[in-house]
Amino acid sequence: MIDSLIDFLIGITLSFDDAEFVWVMLATLLVCFGSVIALFGFIRHGRIMQDTPTSKIRSASQGFVQLEGRARSLDDKPLRVPGSGRECVWFDYLIEKKGKDWEEVARDTSIYSFYVDDGTGVCAVDPEVGKVIARKKRVWVVGDWRYTEQIIAENESVYCLGQFETDQGGSKAEVLKIGVRVLLNQWKQDRQKLLQRFDLNGDGDIDMNEWNQARQAAMSQVKSATANDYVPTQHHNLVAPFNKSHPYIISSIPQGELTSRYQRYAFGLLGLFVVSGAYAVFMTIVRRDLF
């Protein structure tokens, strides 16, 4: 069988003219080098996933982290897939029409952020810039039309890898300052009422001293509306890593299963690298009559 395979490959190789040989050789080398680049990419990403510990959102350090939790829509308002109308936090919807092959007619992919909730806090993730891997995939055919739908459902388990950032809410002083400015602007909308309240000398205008009194009144009102134990609200976000060699992954497939999948891809690419490289060497030997 091996001899027959070798004879078959020799026959194909010798059948190429010079131009065809060059193009086939270039394509083979491209596959060879492309596969080894992709191979190391999957190995590196798999290692990163294995070496990055899972953090709790409440206590996560600022930087590259791994999170696990449940998917939650923003403001508890799930999205709906255009085709089936199913509720979800993320979707990818594809419509194809049958011709000589299946041709893409329309595609819609959600770009809206959603939360990961691990019980200690929530963190917003951005599917527009991350690589989204969905477990739930549905394909159906109606006549000459094929529909493909991938979703991450509300409350589905998700695994995320990316740059963790926390935006601190405004300090109490900043909140008071903004509140006073907003309240004064509201008072300005009703000038007559403003004059009745703060035009102490009755000259039909608000001078500097009277305006300072209005500001103090606004400050007192805002302070009374702001709790004494006010704590700035924190907003956690997972963004694209600063280190470009690190992946940003949002997946409904668990970390262990995803790592195993990357390992299988790496083995497949290793085989492709060996086969394409060996064939490139084989072609060279045959064409030079060195076989």
Angle at 110 between CA 133 and CA 77, to 5 degrees: 105
**For residue 190, what are the domain limits?**
172-225
Residues 201 and 253 in one domain: no
Residues 55 and 141 in one domain: yes
Measured distance CA(23)–CA(30) in Å, rounded: 10
Question: For residue 29, what are the contacts with CB-CB under 8 A and spacing of at least 6?
Answer: 276, 280
Tell me the angle at which helices 191-198 and 172-188 cross, rounded to the nearest 10 degrees.
110
Residues 59 and 177 in one domain: no
Residues 164 and 180 in one domain: no
Answer whether 0.75 is exceeded by the pTM.
Answer: no
pLDDT digit string, tens, across residues 19-60: 877 888 888 889 889 988 888 888 888 888 888 888 999 888
- Other Cβ atoms closer than 10 A to 110: 20
Residues 249 and 200 in one domain: no
pLDDT digit string, tens, across residues 151-204: 999 999 999 999 999 876 655 666 667 677 777 778 777 778 877 887 777 777
Residues 23 and 165 in one domain: yes
Residues 193 and 247 in one domain: no
Residues 211 and 263 in one domain: no
Residues 8 and 25 in one domain: yes
Residue 238 has pLDDT above 90, yes or no: yes
**What's the structural domain count of the chain?**
2
| End residue of a domain, out of 199, 225, 251 | 225
DSSP 86-123: -EESEEEEEEEEESSSEEEEEEEE----EEEE-SS-EE
